[in-house]
Amino acid sequence: MSASVDSSFRPLSLTALLIRFLGSMNLAITLLVAVAIASIIGTVLQQNQPYPDYVIKFGPFWFEVFKSLDLFDVYSSVWFLVILGFLVVSTTVCIFRNTPRVLKDIRDYKESAQLKALRRMSHGHEWQSGFSRDICVERISAVAKATGYRLVVKSEAKQLIVAAKKGSGSRLGYIFTHIAIVIICIGGLIDGNVPLKIAEMTDKIQVETRNIPASQVPLVSTLPIDNLSFRGTVTIPEGQKANLAFIDFKDGYLVQRLPFLIAVEDFRIDYYKTGQPKSFASDLIIYDKELDAPLYKTISVNHPLEHRGYTIYQSSFGDGGSELRIKLWPLKGANRSDEIRAVVNTPFALSLEKAEMTLEVLDFRPINVNPDITGVKKFKNIGPRFQYKLRSATGEATEFINYMMPVEKDGAKYYLTGLRHTPAEDFRYWYLPADSEDGVDRFMRFLALLNDETRLKKIALSALPKQADSFLPMAEDQELVAQFMVGLIKQFVEGGVGLISAQVKAAVAPDKQQEISSLYAKMLHHFLRNVYWVVLQEEELDPTLGLSEFDERFYEDAVAAVSISHQYDVPVYLDLVGFNHKEATGLQVTRSPGKMLVFPGCLLLVVGVFCMFYLPQRRFWVIVTESQDNTQLFLAAQAGRNPYEFEQEYSALEKALLLQLGTERTD
């Protein structure tokens, strides 16, 4: 007995299996879900920010996790580009496998349908007509054309079959949507800058992490002019020009050379009444060898400049090297102030009494809008401020933010100076009371006097009591008492009330600590008030008139400020007294050839979806059988989508046919 193998059960070749796998619906859906998840991540997680910002936001552990997954640059990550590549291949295979079948279905009217199969359809009707077979076919054709159907007529021995359909565009929608997906993904691959990824993996480019001028960036960190796709930024002061952009990449940056020169002729900002920026625009000049004359163009937000496939956006604004006049107030030592002139983004060497430091002015803003603490207005302009770092000789830096004008709080005015040691910290603000001239001079004289042990000793000696009924102790050795008072002031300046309390706890028995602490507080207050009187006398105020309400409030605020001055652990306070503001425009320069594919791809996708959902395919058949006495007709219809909507259309179609061909039912 011999056995034979049916050819339909022969195993598929490896190529056939691969094509079937790549063209499978399951793979396509899986890849689309992966792209959707990646897009959600790329939308929720801000992309292409400096790595330190991510460390601050997520912490070292999650930063390393997200970094290893390339979540900080999702759309250019290797795994995302691989998914797009597979999606292109899978969708292309689907198109080649199914397009012939779809086109065949579009051309096929299914005129060979059998009566038995048509009777199983949910919509059907059978009746007789007194018209001849030819007249019936003619009238059926008229009704079909009037309702938007196209038809063919198939003649058989004993009957005619009229097959009609409309909505073939729904099948074309399948082809359109798949082609659109391929086009969009190819555009994404182009703008994903695959060549840059390959160059990075092969060490042909290296990320630059040093803060150095662009002219010193090595060639291995500089991208050529013909780079296919990029998105970079550049800040250009008014009156200056640049032919490059900086691309944030990994933990550093790359320099992208441009084939033309961008010059900033003017930069303008309009403000609302609240002081918030309303709009800003830049007058640019493009110098290009391919142009007969320079190109002049004004750009603003949402109104970019297009040139040779490059798009220049107005993205931000900043300082362009403003010149600042700064008064230096020593926080330790003598009461003297020097004035310097510093430039934003230009280091300045400071020679202080006990330290050599470098001043790095990071930013300057002439207008600063903050929420109004009084609640009268939502926002309030609190005037110019500058942000800077003081860097020691060892390289350690402390960051500050100082305001030029005092702010009002609880009926008094204060100068704000913020401090933080790392970018991960929030600024801690020191409130310095403003004097009657809206300056910090009185407070600085008060602080300087508290740091002058020689003068403090004289004040202490003059303030020692001569009567025994005073709460201050009597002593024959006035020098010893004065020295104790100076030491108490020194502890207060160096550590506030907390340091004095700690000294009491360490040196006094527990049952006496409260009593001694109360005594020290009275002595400290008495001595501080005497020091303050000396400051007022230097202003030629008459002490016999007593303290005014303003002077009393100033004293309380000054003592409070001194008590936390030890937290302001630098030897100098910088007081902004004048400036020459220079603005700079922040531009984003992009080259995205892929968008020329993405836009038409999206349009084709919309057309395809419209065809599939709004042009549903619908068919009907009429079998016409002629006998000696009459003509027998059988109507059947079906719809591929929206059956409830088709119910109404079928009812209208049936009524029209019965009206044209007679209404004698046989079912």
Q: What is the pLDDT of residue 464?
A: 67
Write out the two tokens for 429: 């603000």
Give the model's confidence band at 3: pLDDT under 50 very low, under 70 low, under 90 confident, else very high: very low
Round to whole Å and give the CA distance between 420 and 402. Answer: 12
Residue 22 to residue 92: CA distance in whole angstroms: 9
Residue 378 confidence class, pLDDT cut points 50, 70, 90: low
The rounded distance, in Å, linking the Cα atoms of 641 and 166 is 13
Q: How many helices (H) and strands (E) does the chain have?
A: 15, 27
Q: Within 13 Å and on the Cβ side, how many CA atoms surround 576? A: 31
- Higher pLDDT: 629 or 237? It is 237
Which pLDDT belongs to residue 371?
A: 64
- Residue 500 and residue 479 in contact, taking contact as beta carbons nearer than 8 Å: no
Residues 6+ apart with CB under 8 A from 584: 235, 236, 237, 238, 264, 267, 317, 318, 319, 320, 321
* Across 79-107, average pLDDT: 89
Local confidence band at 642 (pLDDT 50, 70, 90 cut-offs): confident
CA 413 vs CA 218, 405, 416, 431, 561: distances in Å: 51, 9, 10, 9, 13
**What pLDDT shows up at residue 444?**
92
Does the pTM exceed 0.95? Answer: no
pLDDT band at 132 (very low <50, low <70, confident <90, very high): confident
Q: Give the pLDDT of residue 9.
A: 54
| Residue 116, CA atoms < 13 Å, CB-side half-sphere | 0
Q: What is the pLDDT of residue 159?
A: 87
Consecutive H or E run containing 579: strand 572-580
Residue 408 to residue 283: CA distance in whole angstroms = 38
- pLDDT beyond 90 at 70: no
**Range scoring the smallest mean pLDDT among 88-92, 351-355, 652-656:** 351-355
Give the pLDDT mean for 67-89. Answer: 87
Give the separation between CA 65 and CA 351, rounded to whole angstroms: 45
Q: In what order do the strands lie in the sheet with 618-626?
A: 150-155, 159-166, 618-626, 631-639, 123-129, 664-665
Residue pair 125/652 in contact by the 8 Å Cβ criterion:
no
Closest to 302 in 3D by CA, of 320, 291, 314, 284? 314
Output the DSSP codes for 206-266: --B-S---GGGS-GGGEE-TT-S-EEEEEEEETT-EEEEEEEEETTEEEEEEEEEEEEEEE
| C-alpha–C-alpha distance, residues 169 and 601, integer Å | 18
Cα–Cα distance measured from residue 11 to residue 5, given in angstroms and rounded to the nearest whole number: 11
In this prediction, what percent of the chain has a pLDDT beyond 70? 92
Whole-angstrom CA distances from 274 to 279, 373, 377, 511 are: 13, 14, 8, 58
Quote the DSSP letter at residue 9: G
Q: Can you tell me the distance from the alpha carbon of 523 to that of 491, in angstroms, rounded to the nearest whole number?
A: 13
Query: What is the rounded average pLDDT of the residues 184-206?
Result: 82
Is the pLDDT confidence value at 373 over 60?
Answer: no
pLDDT at 460: 84
* Average pLDDT score over residue span 70-88: 87
- Determine what percent of the chain is predicted with pLDDT higher than 90: 35
* Residue 379 or residue 538, greater confidence: 538
Give pLDDT tens digits for 24-47.
888 888 888 998 998 899 888 888
Residue 234: Cβ-neighbour burial (10 angstroms; 0-12, 13-18, 19+)? buried
pLDDT at residue 1 in the model: 43
Best-predicted range by mean pLDDT among 142-146, 223-227, 473-477? Answer: 142-146
pLDDT for 4: 46
Identity of the highest mean pLDDT range in 46-60, 259-273, 366-380? 259-273
Of the given ranges (12-16, 283-287, 446-450), which has the lowest mean pLDDT?
Answer: 12-16
